Structure 1
């Protein structure tokens, strides 16, 4: 904790001194893609639509530079890992995990305990699962990451919320972009996107393909992705938007290795044992086809009242040949969300009221078979699961005297499951079993107070509650069955935040200090065959300090008559310090209280250098460091420290105001470290390790035409 206090005092002193000086206008024209700016960037988190400086919450931002330029590989993982408090894993190409201010102990694979939205349309289903690997980063223009419990407006989840936005479409312009890339380990990808904007409409269509043979044995992956977004102003008051998404993904799963296997040959897949076959022999992998269609309406009665309502439907066709079985699953999701804002700007205390609700329903048919070298065999289980999630919420944001702003929100969350198991054998068949699991509805409040100090400094304090019911993949794990004893997580989060910049805007700082106390923490267990199940693990205490710092030592002159060669020279760093520990945690006869929670590095540092020139040359350098952290609850095994260096060098040329060509080369793991980008926590047989690629590179070309 001494690091937390020392860092906080140092930055508070620096910014207080800076704010005491007379503010001066910025010397650089800002862009919404520049996510490190505090004074101009508008965020949508908590429905405030305010400047980041005026938002009383810890929010990370990713723009087009971070998503589609800094790293050559077109995946979300490296960009997400630049945000303090966020850790994204990719145990094998396509196998994503995500932890926001927490551990991945709930997620053997997939994304849980995090809510996600694309243009206000929910991507997270009623069972709490998010198909993050169905998205292609090349179709995204912006991501907001709300860190910590946000249930007062977005429903169940103790981790956080992701808000995706599509590519911005300029009015009165039509553009086409073609791109391709190729790299190490059989990496190949291409993309075509078309955008068209008029005064009353904006349409974007893209197709993206990505494939790779993989670094390890049995890690090939291929994904095809189609995206459609459209927005149509049908009247002066009404805007209709549509989102269409289809993804066809297949990736092989090599399985975890124990330490001896990992040191001897990190490229190997999980070998066979005396009792179980290996991953390659069983053709272990994921086949996932995901489709979503959503429609939203924004209606503005007047300048004080407006409503946004969305409806969507989704479908998932999922198959998972595993070491011991072959799972086939089909999901059908329906849902909607409505949110109304009432603005009262002229009273003694200007206030904005937000009220609404969200209803999600997912129906799942799940069958397990035997696995005969990648071919489904005799049926083992035949089950159906229905998940329903209802959230009602209200929020008030009030402008108080002396530059204070108070935000208070409250939501009611109701999660229910229905489960049916059907007989799979005709002889001595057990009748169909019907079970339900209804969790008591909970109220989740949040209160935040923010004060601004001039135009360049703000501080906030917040108290929020978190609630996360078990996901459908936890009450019904991959081996089948229905867990009626698993309880929801409940917690309370205390947070202090500070944001500011110096007079000329060159130095910017964003700090957050928090303590999250969680009860009934859900953790993963594995049986001897490697199939997962989940249990509650008492209490956890999660304390952390997050900091984001940037300094522009070179910037372009806003005067267009000045032809300056360098338009950006920036140094930046993201710092995450954590102290996450179990409390009152008994595992058998062992008392694990005060042990560190596995999967969370006590120190994470991500530092970078950005360089851009007016002629079009650009360069990005990124370094990541994670110190060792425990891989099991007992704390008897730890990871290796991670030191990862990535670089991108490119040249962008525009001529005739229509044509654009962008050529770039990128290198990953330039220090050639043997490391795991995702560990299997609490793994049976000590199979914790999933080696990430050694030193590798790629080159790509983008060609655009605009008229």
Structure 2
């Protein structure tokens, strides 16, 4: 623990002393403070409050009043230490999400992080996820689990994000909202909701929205349809049923990355190939799922979840036609896949079967069937089929055709034992196994069919000590496991055909020590952590939107996180957080075909060493509301050799609004300015980009963030 050992530990010790002293003082003066209902942490399945959960877990509730346009998670999930949630300003590639450095390699979508919406996976069985189907219109809260306990979710759980939709309550109501802003952005939403009148009738929330924008950069226009419905039954026998159905459709132009010189000269511009091949992406996904929980008696309960979904993607890349025509093994410049996925989770919970114990045992099943094709991104002109007359940016001849299947069956068990009045041990074990198979139907370049299996036992344990009623100290350890996704295995770094079945899964040993306090001085958390990873899956280069991957023998992530939030006075709240993350290669990585060597001690690209966040908000139920937040991000290395960086930056946002209620009517308005001081900065990086243009390197690492931009909106609700 190189950095942690040399860290000035007088600061954490002072923090511990302050927390205890605060609590001793608070015990004398909080008798008059009204007790609020205890909210339990859902992510760890232990049924304990956030304070009593021995893990780094954070909850973000949606604001009482709308203060943003409501399109993606970067608008609401802020201020969580060691979580990087970067907006690419590119709706063709989704957000860039990483936790404690896990997932930072992703060129699109989410890797290494498990995502759930209403208990249903938004992460595929192979570990690839997306945030595009999370509906902010009907969102209630988000939980983020960043520490070792995330391994309880099995494969690719370097962190866990759980989004929960609101449940219908009270009278039937209808809400209409509209938000607009910079770059001709428009967002229109409709929400219907109502509580159950009898146990046999469901409470319901039905949300539908449409978003379109011209985009900050050239060639970045997008439109998005998102529908979400949740029905909830609370039956007389104590059981609860949630049925959730979600649909999302996106059409987005892809501006891709820039060189540093291009960013500095004009961050809105795009590469010539982007326009030549009209790079773009179409996505359509439908998903439905059911969760059911039932108490059997005072000591036993059961839970079941089942889901099924379909995801279709067509993506046009800017790979030159000369490159495709030059090799029979090339898979083309158009990616086209149709993926059906489904799964289930069955769990039993027993309490007090042994004194002061809770036990969870279950089985998670997931499967995926994918038809993946590749096409040339050009067609030959009818006028001259033999020469160099081509129509670019059109779907041409097929160059890849395969059926890919994947499944896993993960048994797991958790136990919590309060063995002394102030001491508790939480432990768990999950056997994660993933089975891949690919059947090649494009045989012009040989049969590239293959299969492989990955499996690993994942133990975890945490010991916690309740120092005082409002101060908890804990330490934990867990084994982590991450398989390569089908997309990461899709291409070999040396350009050969077929899947890269040589990629190994990574395993990690994760350690954490933490302290939490909750009293009238606020909610505090201090955490130190370390993750040692073997066979880490890292980028082997990205060219023209196509990424390849390899294994690094050893990597090391370690750091410290601090967070604080408090209701200062009436509806005035404050929040602050800071994280320090030292993420490095812990062994040399040898060069191989077309991929440079990496020296031990180099910093893992895509990861910021320091992050800071602070916000102040006045957020009443009605009347004037306002807020200001400041976010700092340290520099980020763009490649394994650490030859260049995206510079550090600090950005500020402000919002104001007014909420009004009269009888059965509610009205809310808001106006917001992001990047108030018009900072020119990089929002995210394309790790290890290795694009070559006319035989010369043209590394397009940089995805510029928006300059000063504004939004404003209005929502009207009526109860019936």
TM-score, normalised with respect to structure 2: 0.89
Instruction: Report 1:167-182 matches (<5 A).
Output: 167-170=166-169, 172-182=170-180
Which residue does 2:624 correspond to in 1?
617
Structure 1 stretch 606-615 or stretch 484-493: which is displaced more?
A: 606-615
Q: Which among 55, 60, 63 is matched to residue 61 of structure 2? A: 63
Q: Which among 466, 469, 485 is matched to residue 471 of structure 1? A: 485
Which residue does 1:679 correspond to in 2?
685
SS state at 2:646 partner: coil
How far the C-alpha of 1:73 sits from its partner, in A, is: 4.6
Q: Which among 285, 298, 302 is matched to residue 280 of structure 2? A: 285
Structure 1 stretch 1-10 or stretch 145-154: which is displaced more?
A: 1-10
- Rounded Cα–Cα distance in structure 2 between residues aligned with 1:4 and 1:188: 49
SS state at 1:458 partner: strand
Structure 1 stretch 284-293 or stretch 7-16: which is displaced more?
A: 7-16
SS state at 2:509 partner: strand
- Rounded Cα–Cα distance in structure 2 between residues aligned with 1:528 and 1:137: 33
Contact 2:41 2:47 in 1 (8 A): yes
> Please, which runs of 5 or more residues in structure 2 have no aligned partner?
320-332, 379-391, 691-697
Residue 574 in structure 1 maps to residue 577 in structure 2: yes
> Please, which runs of 5 or more residues in structure 1 have no aligned partner?
33-39, 272-277, 556-567
How far the C-alpha of 1:644 sits from its partner, in A, is: 1.0
**CA gap 1:453/1:538 in 2 versus in 1, 3 angstroms:** same
How far the C-alpha of 1:234 sits from its partner, in A, is: 4.2
Structure 1 stretch 119-128 or stretch 588-597: which is displaced more?
A: 588-597
SS state at 2:76 partner: helix
Structure 1 stretch 480-489 or stretch 307-316: which is displaced more?
A: 480-489
Q: Which among 418, 431, 435 is matched to residue 450 of structure 2? A: 435
**CA gap 1:544/1:665 in 2 versus in 1, 3 angstroms:** same
SS state at 2:680 partner: coil
SS state at 1:65 partner: coil
Q: Which among 619, 641, 653 is matched to residue 660 of structure 2? A: 653
Which residue does 1:338 correspond to in 2?
346
Contact 1:607 1:624 in 2 (8 A): yes
- Rounded Cα–Cα distance in structure 2 between residues aligned with 1:220 and 1:699: 20
SS state at 2:702 partner: coil
Contact 2:306 2:345 in 1 (8 A): yes
- The alignment covers a number of residue pairs equal to 670
Instruction: Report 1:189-588 matches (<5 A).
Output: 189-198=187-196, 199-200=198-199, 201-271=202-272, 278-324=273-319, 325-344=333-352, 349-372=355-378, 373-423=392-442, 429=444, 432-439=447-454, 441-477=455-491, 481-502=498-519, 505-526=520-541, 529-555=544-570, 568-588=571-591
- Rounded Cα–Cα distance in structure 2 between residues aligned with 1:423 and 1:191: 44
Runs of 4+ in 1 over 6 A off after TM superposition: none
Contact 2:621 2:659 in 1 (8 A): no
Which residue does 1:702 correspond to in 2?
715
Q: Deviation digits for residues 152-192 of structure 1, max 9, x if unmatched?
A: 5311124211112111322x422211100110101100110
Residue 8 in structure 1 maps to residue 8 in structure 2: no
**CA gap 1:149/1:288 in 2 versus in 1, 3 angstroms:** farther
How far the C-alpha of 1:131 sits from its partner, in A, is: 2.5
**CA gap 1:71/1:455 in 2 versus in 1, 3 angstroms:** farther
Instruction: Report 1:60-139 matches (<5 A).
Output: 60-65=58-63, 69-94=66-91, 95-139=94-138
**CA gap 1:377/1:28 in 2 versus in 1, 3 angstroms:** farther
Q: Deviation digits for residues 553-575 of structure 1, max 9, x if unmatched?
A: 312xxxxxxxxxxxx22232111
- Rounded Cα–Cα distance in structure 2 between residues aligned with 1:587 and 1:80: 38
Q: Deviation digits for residues 328-363 of structure 1, max 9, x if unmatched?
A: 100001111111101117x5x311110001111001
Structure 1 stretch 658-667 or stretch 371-380: which is displaced more?
A: 371-380
Which residue does 1:564 correspond to in 2?
none
Which residue does 1:275 correspond to in 2?
none
Contact 1:148 1:158 in 2 (8 A): no
How far the C-alpha of 1:476 sits from its partner, in A, is: 1.8
Q: Deviation digits for residues 105-151 of structure 1, max 9, x if unmatched?
A: 43110011111222222221112111212222222111111113446
Residue 606 in structure 1 maps to residue 613 in structure 2: yes
SS state at 1:586 partner: coil
Which residue does 2:162 correspond to in 1?
163
- Rounded Cα–Cα distance in structure 2 between residues aligned with 1:4 and 1:243: 49
How far the C-alpha of 1:70 sits from its partner, in A, is: 4.9
Contact 1:153 1:411 in 2 (8 A): yes
SS state at 2:18 partner: helix
Contact 1:603 1:627 in 2 (8 A): yes
- Rounded Cα–Cα distance in structure 2 between residues aligned with 1:615 and 1:474: 49
- Rounded Cα–Cα distance in structure 2 between residues aligned with 1:105 and 1:210: 27
Contact 1:104 1:599 in 2 (8 A): no
Which residue does 2:381 correspond to in 1?
none
SS state at 1:596 partner: coil
